[in-house]
Amino acid sequence: MRKIERIFVHCTASSQKTTVSGILAEFRQKGWRYPGYHYLVSPDGTVTQLLDEKLVSNGVKGFNATSINVAYIGGIRKENRKIVPVDNRTQEQKAALRELLAKLHFKYPEAHIMGHRSIWGEDHPERWKKACPCFNAEDEYKDL
Ligand SMILES: [Zn+2]
């Protein structure tokens, strides 16, 4: 079994109307063999498994071999014709994410739950290459 050191939380950085198959198509377009995430949480709270946890998904370069990647659909909005990061998780997504992360953490108790951007330090927004997942996941899930 892979040693899981981190459970990463992502946003898809797409409209909340994007479908699971639309996101899978994006990964295929990028030429990726495996999807970016193991699990995807839709706005209605549905959790879809995209990849077996034994396999390596394409979530955070340099960390994938020892990680599980989880994402919610959303994370952007348009503002003055610009795309800006936003935490637009629905209540259903928040609940489903929390439940999924609790389950994963129970299975991999050694793993640290963190956001994609947490690799650059939650306290250092100037270092973030992406705002993903657009909220402080380390803080929100520290009790799990
Ligand atoms: Zn990400």
Residue 86 lies in a domain: yes
* Domain harbouring 55, CATH code: 3.40.80.10
User: 75 CA to middle of ligand 1, Å?
Assistant: 10
% of residues, the chain, pLDDT over 90:
95
**Residue 45 pLDDT:** 98
User: 1 CA to middle of ligand 1, Å?
Assistant: 24
User: 82 CA to middle of ligand 1, Å?
Assistant: 19
Residue 67 lies in a domain: yes
Please list all protein residues whose beta carbon sits less than 5 angstroms from ligand 1, which is an ion.
Answer: 10, 116, 132
What band does 35 get if pLDDT is binned at 50, 70 and 90?
A: very high
**Residue 51 pLDDT:** 97
Q: How many domains does the chain have?
A: 1
Residue 87 lies in a domain: yes
Pairing verdict, β 39-41 and 47-49: antiparallel
pLDDT of 74 > 90? The answer is: yes
Residue 129 lies in a domain: yes
Residue 1 lies in a domain: no
What band does 1 get if pLDDT is binned at 50, 70 and 90?
A: confident
Residue 110 lies in a domain: yes
Task: Give the residue numbers spanning the domain of 73.
Answer: 6-140
User: 13 CA to middle of ligand 1, Å?
Assistant: 8
pLDDT of 44 > 90? The answer is: yes
